[in-house]
Chains A and B, each alone.
Chain A
Amino acid sequence: MTLWCPFDNFPAFDHPGAFVQPIATPRHTPFYEFHRAAGGRLIDFAGFEMPVRYTGDVREHRCVRGAAGLFDISHMGEFEVSGPGACETLDRLVTNDVSALEVGQALYSPACRPDGGIVDDLLVYRLPDRYMVVVNASNIAKDFAWIREASLPGVRLKDRSDETALLAIQGPRAADVMRGHVPPAALDLGYYRFMIGPMFGAEGVISRTGYTGEDGFELYFHPRDAERVWTGILSAGRPHGLEPVGLGARDTLRLEMAYMLYGNDISDTTNPLEAGLGWTVKLKKASDFTGKQALLDQRAKGLARKLVGFSLEGRRVPRHDMAIECAGREVGKVTSGTFAPSLERPIGLGYVEAGCAAVGSAIEIRAGEARLAARVVARPFYTQGSHR
């Protein structure tokens, strides 16, 4: 049995039992013991021992689409950026417009290299007196160095990752789960808005963000409150059908929404324009930013390749790095692929030559000797989500 695996950060699974090989020096989130107690199957993700699933990927996926799920995403990194010049520093680093943020608003943005390649995709939260930047776990060290390097005089940068627990509650019933345990105002916040307030007896950032396409919350708080918040959410959520959900379903949920996974769909060698993230690139914002010239040049020249979503007619599943063919010629590679539980069919993302990127284009995915018939479709794949 040769196991293939979905995340770049996984070790190579070329031998049986690889999933359970001990990690050399595994890191743990504050919820590690709860994952074990809940029967979570633990795997290495970006150096953290994280639950890939508790019961089953499909069950957990449907739980989030139909009710609510609880995700531990504390492996992600949080930086605090403050002092005069904090806004300008961030605006010079990311493609989206930080200066336009109101207090209580969050922003999704890529950060680019000078050549336009993506350093990371991240969230910027504007707090009253500072910014919180949330980055991918695999990029914490790289991003911290990247921001420190670019910091203007007077800017204070702190890595708060080890002092921050992060849970996501996602699903159409998420607000019902939270009602009575967060301020009522938190239930009325719009998408990508947040507030600071009490939550399940702790205090922290209550954010209306997520990675699933459903309504939901992301809660940032101190790890000393890990137990009371985790158990509080589980017991408040049980009547609403909430269950803990692992990284496996997190990936199928985000992929149905065609949200990017850094290291798979976007990386140092892809730029936001070809990834379809042009809506996050504010070429006209006041501040100059790293990669701007490269992206302007790209736009003037036209894109050679584009990230597309595709859907398959058969049951075989496309996987990361499989070749994409068009009219018998290789035109790109699959970056993410899965069986989509909500659509009950295989879907994928991949870069293809611009000539094959139009919705409706017929393509083929090469899976060993087999060629899987596929068609470019509109993104997102799943359009019934409850997020506002």
Chain B
Amino acid sequence: MGYPEDVRYTAEHEWARLEGGVVTIGITSYATEQLGDVVFVELPEVGRMLEAMKPFGVVEAVKTVSDLYAPLGGRVIEVNSALADNPALVNQEPFGEGWMIRLRPAKAADLQKLMTGPEYEKMIEEHQG
């Protein structure tokens, strides 16, 4: 099906997009298909320092719940407040309006350690056997 190539991916199904020194983070369309309808996203406060691959929030769907993992370390500079009233944005536009947090990365180069679109797609295909 193809995943956006302007972002990098984690094995936990988060994506990260670097623009102008700021990294935007969300979860992938594959993740939202697994979760079903998202009804609540618990996000950190602005200013909090995140550690790479540590949980930073929770996404609650009707039938499922999942921790959110930080693709890389850094300070949270913005959270998507639109999700409070409309968590369905995560299902509708996981790579767009359904983003979750923006952070100032401690080491932007760490982004290169994450998977590319084709690599992520390959991982999904392997999981599906």
The 8 A-B pairs of least Cβ separation, nearest first, read A17-B127, A315-B40, A57-B62, A339-B39, A1-B66, A58-B37, A4-B65, A317-B60
Does B112 touch A at the CB level, under 8 Å?
Answer: no
In the bound complex, do residue A1 and residue B63 qualify as a contact, i.e. CB atoms below 8 Å apart? no
From A18-26, A163-171, A193-201, the one touching the partner chain is A18-26
Residues in chain B within 8 A of chain A (CB atoms):
11-13, 27, 31, 33-37, 39-40, 42, 58, 60-67, 69, 91, 124, 127-129
Does A383 touch B at the CB level, under 8 Å?
Answer: no
Residues in chain A within 8 A of chain B (CB atoms):
1-6, 13, 15-17, 19-22, 41, 52-53, 56-59, 248, 251-252, 315-317, 319, 338-339, 341
In the bound complex, do residue B63 and residue A248 qualify as a contact, i.e. CB atoms below 8 Å apart? yes
Contacts of B11 in A (CB 8 A): 16
In the bound complex, do residue B66 and residue A56 qualify as a contact, i.e. CB atoms below 8 Å apart? no
CB closest residue in chain B, given A344: B39
Report the Cα distance A13→B13, complex, angstroms: 15
Secondary structure call for the B interface: mixed
Report the Cα distance A15→B42, complex, angstroms: 22
Contacts of B67 in A (CB 8 A): 1-2
In the bound complex, do residue A315 and residue B60 qualify as a contact, i.e. CB atoms below 8 Å apart? yes
> Can you name 14 extra interface pairs (CB under 8 A) apart from A20-B127, A56-B91?
A1-B27, A6-B64, A16-B12, A16-B127, A17-B128, A52-B36, A57-B63, A58-B37, A58-B39, A248-B62, A248-B63, A315-B42, A338-B62, A341-B62
* A339/B128 contact (C-beta < 8 A), A248-B36, A317-B39 known: no
CB closest residue in chain B, given A249: B62
* Complex A-B: 21 CB contacts under 8 Å: A1-B13, A1-B34, A1-B67, A3-B65, A5-B63, A6-B63, A16-B12, A16-B13, A19-B34, A22-B129, A52-B63, A56-B37, A58-B39, A58-B62, A248-B63, A317-B39, A317-B62, A317-B65, A338-B62, A339-B39, A341-B62
Contacts of B128 in A (CB 8 A): 17, 20
Report the Cα distance A57→B58, complex, angstroms: 19
B36 to chain A, nearest CB (A): 5
Contacts of A52 in B (CB 8 A): 36, 63
Taking a contact as CB atoms closer than 8 A, the residue among A2, A21, A339 that contacts B129 in the complex is: A21
Report the Cα distance A287→B74, complex, angstroms: 70
Contacts of B65 in A (CB 8 A): 3-4, 317, 319
